Amino acid sequence: MKRNFSIQRQEQRDAFILVTPLLLLMLVFTVYPVISNFYYSFTEWKGFGTAEWVGLKNYAKAIQDDKFWHSLKNLGTLVLYIPFGVFIPLLLAAILREGLKGWTFFRSIIYLPTILGYVVLGTIFSIIFSQTGPIIEFLSAIGVENAAAINLLGSSKSAIHIVAVLFVIFTKIGFGTIFFLAAMSGIDSSMFDAAKIDGAGWWRVFFTITVPSISFSIQFFLVLQFIEVFARMYSFIYTLTYGGPGFATYTLEFGIYRQGFQVFKMGYASSWAVILFLLCAVIAAFQIHLIKKGDLI
């Protein structure tokens, strides 16, 4: 008995020793930056030198800042495209699962945007949608009048929608399709056979068997889409539109970069970061609540 207890204590010590480096890294690169960001959000600081305590001044300034409200509006627009960003890969995965001829080739092509990355994709699409790009050249070639005047990324009305389609839908199609295909591989094939025997159509099978069977995977991908929109768009926005025209594609994440690293208002940028953190926390808590209740999809 004593020997077993000694072995157990030794295993616990060994486990603690193995985990300690990871805990230290988390403290240095995650916990400390988060706590310090909360502190600096209450200060006037340039990113260097002494930080001057100003209380809630940065938050009051954010509420009166047009750029802040533009960024929230743009995030709201991007969020509206998330259901499409989830449904389209799900639909493509269901189609490819049926054994579409040449599906391995289609799977490779669909996954290509994921391999390229946001910086490369943003640069490519900035060229494609430019007024001297291939789209305008094609429209001019087929005789469209005033084709050179078309500037989808240069219009404040269309720019955010182009960004939403490209980032929320197009760049996620590859990963989403492969992800859902992997989830569908775990569905018992006898369920599909039974549905076909009963005369169920493709769409009925899709909504009554496929979707409910991978509901957890859909919920996970939905949460991932929210994270991408709120906290991983910077590089794509930077290379595609740089937040323009005006503030048409300005987001909280991009605003944090501009305020902190261009005009050196690091304290003010920290207040934006805290607001973004709180928004993500509220959304995550709400989604977890819905997942537990089973009402998310």
The more confident residue out of 113 and 240 is 240
201 — phi, psi (to 5°)? -75, 175
Please report, as a single letter, which amino acid is at residue 144.
Answer: V
Domain boundaries, the chain: 1-32, 41-293
The answer to whether residue 147 scores a pLDDT higher than 80 is no
The pLDDT assigned to 151 comes to 84
- How high does pLDDT run on average in the chain? 88
Cβ contact 184:177 at 8 Å: no
- CATH 3.40.1280.10 fits domain 41-293: no
Q: Locate 250 and state its tokens.
A: 């300005």
Q: What whole-number percentage of the chain has pLDDT above 90? A: 51
Closest of 87, 115, 101, 49 to residue 225, by C-alpha: 87
The pLDDT assigned to 238 comes to 94
Please report, as a single letter, which amino acid is at residue 294.
Answer: G
Q: Locate 213 and state its tokens.
A: 């069977």
Rg for the chain, CA atoms, rounded: 24
The answer to whether residue 161 scores a pLDDT higher than 90 is yes
The answer to whether residue 296 scores a pLDDT higher than 80 is no
Please report, as a single letter, which amino acid is at residue 182.
Answer: A
The whole-number average pLDDT for the span 18-30 is 90
pTM: 0.86
The more confident residue out of 104 and 44 is 44
